[in-house]
Chain A
């Protein structure tokens, strides 16, 4: 029942192209901001609708496939909307709609320069992200992965301050080096196995290779995709990239770009190498060690940051590794937990970034120590902040609890007490670095915010919607988008295929 059947369809391609097609429209409407933003919203809506139309068939394992043309002998540029791809594409394109509304409020509230470049790059980033999601083979994946790298660069350096330019350099240094490692690893896989196709449960050919070769290859892949996934010690670009405007941090550095990284980790681990190969060569141990130490270290580093966005960035670093952890557990339940965390962390972290941006636009504050009493001035914003931060700490009924619950179950299934301990400690650490912010906002007195109120509705409404979604998905994980069904389906396919 879990076998995939494919049918030809242009929808995956259209879903990718629709935002790229809006780039020239955004460009020529540069002098008419309202028309320009209309194109962004139209593209975002159309993209989400197209992705959503792929959901019903993905749920019954019928996979839409666009086979374009050969790009390297024997390898076609192929897009396949398999359950995992649809899962990620739904999150990225759905949250893009919220971010687009929010962006309009943000850049206009701050009178940002270069708004046309901003919206155009944003649209291109989303095209690349969906390309990453729908890539049916490694070469297609890498092509979109690299386009994503380059199209994010203009957003990182958007403010053109020395800090932003330095962050841009750091970002390129990390991601382009990783791209090179990824290309080398990909070439080696093609030579050794003769194929680059992703398939649930991975390629059998790996099991016939020498252990040293498999270990080196996996290390290269983990480094290649892990940079975007901010696995320590490859995370340093992410806190620096917080120099970007907040909507960029919200969607790209909490959802699209970094999730492309962990999405890539799962693709490589479960669709290229396969759980069986990982287990046989002890590679999942490497994933668990890296993910576990990243979770703990990043949480500790988050305490040290007084800059709100940088604290959120370290929190992101930690939470991304939950997904890696889920893949490393090699149990269906653990994988479900990891996959659910791709969605759940996205809805929660985007709320937190939206809040940080609203505070910045209205009160011009970036530091946590300056936020005393802001909860009275911006009750809705800070209320949403409190909800999302509780969710990240794993407090029910917010959706963060669901993913942690399944991760914990998966760890217990495998008898891995250490992982359960890490999850518990991490929950406490999360609470430790988020609760003081909420406490300051609501329980400390200050006169400084008396004159300000909530940010514009363009910003507050998306923020509340995302917070509401987090709470709803916590109570009913399968609501609207069937994230839970999809996650179970993906896990079942991956694990079933790998049973010898």
Chain B
């Protein structure tokens, strides 16, 4: 019974409490957090069960109201969707546990809307993942986007401006997607993804179909912050409150990447499209630019969250590179990087949140070696996250890059291989800049020159409290565990989701 309903169950588990929280919050603001946490906690076993069933028995389909597709709206849980649903629920659960304290420090009077918006955002994400309908996907995209604008706007004085920019550009992005969907609908007469995928080979030669694809990819590219459509991201992520950015940065762009995969590889056939339109090559080349641009910009930032935001631009570039290679190894690397980057970025943003909560800032220039004594565990988590971002074995980050490099060599994309590896070195530069500052004695105003006496003396312990530290450390530990188990994941989970068009 549960099994058949699984595709819609996770979004609903999150959506209904999202609507309840404002009502209950009127009377009892304190109930907002337990309710939100309970909803996310309940969604994890559902998502886990979904992944288990899908891997064991193939995709699960659910037709809304019993109206069969293509007339009715279909929800489909396939390996890719169920895997990412689990990822979204687990990461958001950890972030939510962490957020309780951060939210009460950074925006104490806005907790009820915050938790409601978080659940709305997650409901939107899970809806995007499990829908099998192009227009329905747009609806969920808007739900999650609107919640996202709200989450950014909750922050400090600058955040409404960033949220406004985010709103305008996000709306342009979803608008492009909707327009593209309209083109496809007019030409194919269907909105159901599987149905459209069946019809497309017959009409692919018609210009409106290709125009529709370009519009959709452009729109999704904006939502994914695919270089050069990334310009809204650094502002939005760095001025959003820490509790929001820790949720949006690891998950938001990944959902965009998912939609890109869904449209490009499952609705369209990349090989057939490539004969008429070099869309995967364009994505790959732009992504390569993004890797370099994002890394260089990250190097120039003085604020930790802003640095991490630019780093996201670079990491999305890695995902785009893997997809753009359009071969199984590149695809594997891209999906693995979606997982790894979500965990790494979550861990790093949680550390940034810990810093903001405990020190009141996350300014790199104001950090010094006392920090490693004041917050030893948070900084240790930062180091693990950084090593994974750099891509050093045996952390998870190494293995996604390993598959990307293998994919690059398989397709003889030598430039991309060089970019992937060079990006790793640039990562080293901007992360070790922070690590050196935190662990080694630097005299103020003299970057690169250490003070003669390295002893920090007696320092006050300012470590974040347990509810913030535990999620941070769990994520950091997961990076090590996932590194060593990545092969299992690739064989059992990612292999079944490689689209037929790539094999």
Contact = CB atoms under 8 A, between A and B. Distances in A.
Interface of A: 69-73, 77, 113, 142-143, 146-147, 149-150, 157, 159-162, 164-165, 169, 172, 176-177, 179-181, 183-184, 187-188, 190-191
Contacts of A172: 428, 432
Contact of B490 (A73, A161, A165): A73
Interface string B383-406: 000010010111000110111011
Contacts of A142: 393
Nearest to A160: B454
Nearest to B387: A150
A235 to B, nearest CB: 20
Given A71-B487, A147-B393, A172-B428, A183 B399 contact: no
Contacts of A150: 387, 392
Given A72-B487, A160-B440, A187 B402 contact: yes
B172 interface: no
B409 interface: yes
Interface stretch (B50-58, B145-153, B417-425): B417-425
Nearest to B454: A160
Contacts of B491: 70, 73
B340 to A, nearest CB: 15
Given A150-B392, A188-B409, A72 B436 contact: no
B450 interface: yes
24 contacts: A69-B484, A70-B491, A72-B403, A72-B490, A143-B393, A143-B398, A146-B393, A147-B393, A149-B392, A157-B440, A160-B441, A161-B452, A164-B450, A165-B436, A165-B440, A172-B428, A179-B392, A181-B421, A183-B401, A184-B417, A187-B402, A191-B406, A191-B409, A191-B410
B13 interface: no
Nearest to A190: B406
Nearest to A77: B484
Contact of B450 (A73, A161, A179): A161
B487 A165 contact: no
Contacts of B409: 187-188, 191
A216 to B, nearest CB: 11
A92 B425 CA distance: 30
A184 B393 contact: no
Contacts of A146: 392-393, 398
A243 B484 CA distance: 34
Per DSSP, chain A at the interface is helix
B427 to A, nearest CB: 10
Per DSSP, chain B at the interface is helix
A180 B424 contact: yes
Contacts of A188: 409
A187 B450 contact: no
A71 B455 contact: no
B488 interface: yes
B374 interface: no
Nearest to B421: A180
Contacts of B484: 69, 71, 77
A162 B450 CA distance: 5
Interface in B150-191: none
Interface of B: 387, 390, 392-394, 398-399, 401-403, 405-406, 408-410, 417, 421-422, 424-425, 428, 432, 436, 440-441, 449-450, 452, 454-455, 484, 486-488, 490-491
Contacts of B432: 169, 172
Contact of A162 (B392, B417, B421, B449): B449
Report, nearest first, the 8 A-B pairs whose CB atoms are least far apart.
A160-B454, A143-B393, A70-B487, A187-B405, A180-B421, A191-B409, A162-B450, A146-B393
A19 B387 CA distance: 22
Contacts of A72: 399, 402-403, 486-487, 490
Nearest to B487: A70
A253 to B, nearest CB: 20
Nearest to B488: A70
A456 B425 CA distance: 44
Nearest to B406: A187
A150 B398 CA distance: 14
A439 B300 CA distance: 54
A187 B407 CA distance: 9
Name, among B403, B409, B410, B490, the residue most crowded by chain A CB atoms within 10 Å (CB to CB). B409
Contacts of B490: 72-73
A169 B424 CA distance: 16
B425 A176 contact: yes
B450 A184 contact: no
A164 B390 CA distance: 23
A157 B406 CA distance: 34
Given A70-B488, A142-B393, A191-B410, A176 B428 contact: yes
Given A71-B484, A165-B440, A183 B421 contact: yes
Given A147-B394, A157-B440, A180 B425 contact: yes
A183 B428 contact: no
Contacts of A161: 450, 452, 454
Contacts of B402: 72, 183, 187
A147 B394 CA distance: 8
B391 to A, nearest CB: 8
B152 to A, nearest CB: 36
A77 to B, nearest CB: 8
Nearest to B490: A73
Contacts of B421: 180-181, 183-184
Contacts of B394: 143, 147
A142 B399 CA distance: 12
Contacts of B392: 146, 149-150, 179
A162 B454 CA distance: 10
A159 B455 CA distance: 11
A214 to B, nearest CB: 15
A161 B398 CA distance: 31
Nearest to B443: A162
Contacts of A160: 440-441, 450, 454
Contact of B486 (A71, A147, A181, A191): A71
A77 B483 CA distance: 12
A171 to B, nearest CB: 11
Contacts of B422: 180
Contacts of B406: 187, 190-191
Given A71-B486, A71-B487, A162-B449, A184 B405 contact: yes
Nearest to B410: A191
B425 A113 contact: no
A209 to B, nearest CB: 13
A170 B421 CA distance: 19
A71 B488 CA distance: 8
A161 B403 CA distance: 39
Nearest to B402: A72
Contacts of A183: 401-402, 405, 421
Nearest to B446: A162
A77 B484 CA distance: 9
Contacts of A176: 390, 425, 428
Contacts of A113: 454-455
A146 B410 CA distance: 24
A190 B402 CA distance: 11
Contacts of A181: 421
B321 to A, nearest CB: 14
A181 B394 CA distance: 17
A143 B397 CA distance: 13
Contacts of B452: 161
Contacts of A77: 484
Contacts of B436: 165, 169
A147 B441 CA distance: 24
Nearest to B455: A113
Nearest to A158: B454
A142 B405 CA distance: 15
A142 B422 CA distance: 18
A172 B429 CA distance: 10
Contacts of B440: 157, 160, 165
Nearest to A179: B392
Contact of A165 (B405, B450, B486): B450
